[in-house]
Structure 1
């Protein structure tokens, strides 16, 4: 029985997907500080490796050659896992599993078990990556709850989008001033002032946002502590209802709630996570750290259109800024494809077109104002 090229290509795509998934889970297990989570990633990797071996045999039988090199996106995620930890890439891996959960539903070669396992993986990863983990039980349940706030899970995405903000806003500002046909010295001063002003604005906004969130969460935890001290029985009942809503039986929920409430420190920590959805160990992260990171990332993006103006001759500073900005827009658009799963060329081209359109508008407006003021 021969295998056509379309079927062979499907086998190869399946093999590559499973192999890359296994590599990611292995790396996540190696950089996950909690033993229970690391063991879970190892088990997921073993299943993916079994699937990959199944498709490898199919490819070889069909006369094909299994690919050796991992995809560019997987290599970036592996690097991010080593650099930032498993938690940083978990939302992206969960999103991938969600997209692939039905991939084997209409592939007869996969059988029922493989399709069922893919759906199971999607449910598990979705549960781990979401703010609430419905259906999860066992000793790790309380620890898992509340670990997926706005901190580490979105660091990489925030870095890319922050740099994009710095690039686009500074590029548009410079093109608007250039449209007014001002002298080169004024344009260079605008580059410095605009970059620093934007970075400071972003840093201040981030500090206020994070600090306000921390203060609100601290107030909520303090109120919860007062309620726990005044009415421990009522808090125990609330905790029991929460666990029942998450899939535990009534007896199991009551037993867990009773054990938790007996230790005041553990009770407050658990109630903060379960009832308020707050991680007391983090509280959204450091306000100063967030402000500093926001300042640096924005400034890094702003340097793409601003720095070339200081390196090029006076007659070419606008062209140099526009060319470097166009390259930066495409590169950041391609980087965003890491999170969306889209083709990097398509994502980069879209980002380039949007950025150039925005800069064209500001250039035109600047030109109109320049002509009006000059007249």
Structure 2
């Protein structure tokens, strides 16, 4: 009989599909980008309407840019994996014995007895699809049947960037034209986002939240200073 605690300890989060990384980077980029933009133009002394316009433009442009970047990078990565898997398939067709010996050497390096490693690798070669999958995993470090979706990565990045970028704009959109309030809302968003990331990484939630808050504050401080200097000079 299995123990519930043991089952929970051996349960792993789903880290495949490419959505988590894109969502995390999208939300953080959206928060930091718009907090910094709003701090910069606000430091320059512009009117609330201009701050909203800048923030809205940053939200739309950034979300589209992030989505296109994620789609392109994930698709390019998948195409590279497909090309390498095709090459591995051809080598298995042409040189089955050499490929079996290569796989056996990999397993031997991990402590499998030489005779057993070669025997298993040879038997595996009789199943072409299984052989391609195992060779790709062992030699390339990828599972050709479990590659991330570029559409999922792009969609999650777009939505999460837009959601993050919207947070510091909310006070202005609700009628409270206050730069400190907008930056405060952005700071809360950064801390919450950092704390949520800790749920997946199993790190300290308050440390993760504080780290994101400090990084965002540094970016906002730098852009506010630049905007203030330019505003005075103008």
Deviation of the 1:229 alpha carbon: 1.4
2:195 corresponds to which residue?
Answer: 334
Deviation of the 1:319 alpha carbon: 3.1
Aligned length: 231
The answer to whether the 8 A contact 2:22-2:153 is kept is no
Gaps of 5+ in 1: 1-21, 29-40, 42-85, 90-149
Q: Distance in 1 between matches of 2:4 and 2:62?
A: 40
Q: TM-score, normalised by structure 1?
A: 0.57
Of 168, 171, 177 in structure 2, the residue corresponding to residue 305 of structure 1 is 168
Deviation of the 1:204 alpha carbon: 1.2
Q: TM-score, normalised by structure 2?
A: 0.88
2:106 corresponds to which residue?
Answer: 242
1:132-171 equivalent positions in 2, closer than 5 A:
151-152=16-17, 156=20, 159-171=23-35
Rg comparison, structure with higher value: 1
1:210 corresponds to which residue?
Answer: 74
The answer to whether the 8 A contact 1:195-1:302 is kept is yes
Q: Return the structure number with greater relative CO, CA threshold 8 A, min gap 6.
A: 2
Q: Distance in 2 between matches of 1:350 and 1:274?
A: 36
Q: Distance in 2 between matches of 1:24 and 1:311?
A: 46
1:193 corresponds to which residue?
Answer: 57
Deviation of the 1:183 alpha carbon: 2.1
Q: Distance in 1 between matches of 2:128 and 2:50?
A: 63
Matched, 1:367 2:222: no
Gaps of 5+ in 2: none
Q: Distance in 2 between matches of 1:312 and 1:268?
A: 60
2:95 corresponds to which residue?
Answer: 231
The answer to whether the 8 A contact 1:163-1:299 is kept is yes
**SS, match of residue 329 in structure 1:** helix
Q: Distance in 1 between matches of 2:52 and 2:76?
A: 36
